[in-house]
Amino acid sequence: MTAHADCIFCKIIAGDIPAFKLCEDDDTLSFMDINPYNDGHCLVIPKGHYENLYAMPDDAMAAVSIATRKVAAAVNAALEPDGLNLVQANGPAAGQSVYHFHMHVFPRKTDDKAWMNWRFAPGDMDRIGQIAEQIRAHL
């Protein structure tokens, strides 16, 4: 697996800095986030260093997805949160602070006011249709 010398998550994978590990397999590592928004907030990462979602190969993405579902189910069974979000950030405007792909397993409490919440407001259907066309051109 390729590691990045300055990457905090590569150092956790290598065992150079400590972490509250939950589980691992050949391709992924899951561990507790040290700045939890709510109890049980944890992270699932690929063992290879990929900066963000766009850099992730399909096999690493598949492995992270499978591990994420397993960890989220364990968090749900252990802590019985009111809800749980999977959150994944790409780029500074999205809140990415560590540039090694990671999936947040983010337990929710009713009315916990986590920043990711937004209110539903009806969109402009013409604009939504045009944007869908722009995205489809890249699929």
Active site residues: 102
Per CB under 5 A, 4 contacts Zn ion:
yes
Residue 50 contacts residue 89 (beta carbons within 8 Å)? no
Among 38, 96, 108, 114, which residue sits at the site for ligand 5GP (rule: CB under 6 A)? 96
**Footprint of ligand 5GP on 12-31 (CB under 6 A):** 19, 31
Tell me the window of 55-63, 89-97, 110-118, 127-135 that interacts with ligand 5GP (CB under 6 A): 89-97
CA distances from 84 to 9, 51, 76, 123 (A): 23, 25, 8, 26
Identity of the residue, 5 or 125, whose beta carbon is nearer to ligand 5GP in the bound complex = 5
**Footprint of Zn ion on 82-111 (CB under 5 A):** 100
Per CB under 6 A, 90 contacts ligand 5GP:
no
Per CB under 6 A, 67 contacts ligand 5GP:
no
Structure tokens at 45: 């990462």
Structure tokens at 60: 């690493």
How deeply is 42 buried, as exposed, middle or buried, from its count of CB atoms within 10 A (0-12, 13-18, 19+)?
Answer: buried
